[in-house]
Amino acid sequence: MYINVAHRIYRLDLDAPYPLLKSSFSVLYYRDSSNVICNPTDFRIVVSDRIGTRQDVIVRHMTVLSAAEAAALPKNLRPRA
């Protein structure tokens, strides 16, 4: 998963596949997150299909991409600003 935070692109490696993430109806939101993310365990991400199914997403590892790495991402994987 790729996210954009303060004009920096992060790659989040998850602990398992989350099928709901591939759904066109899925919604990601933060649950009880602080404004400071220092390590992967600080993320509190939940994915929902908007009709009741929810999964807590566990982030195993986070990596800041260099400007060149971010620019090399295919358009469909680039996070919105």
The radius of gyration of the chain from alpha carbons, rounded to an integer in Å, stands at 13
- DSSP secondary structure letter of residue 17: -
pTM of the model: 0.79
- pLDDT, tens digit, for every residue of 11-51? 999 999 988 888 878 887 766 656 677 888 888 788 888 88
| Cα–Cα dist 31/10, whole Å | 19
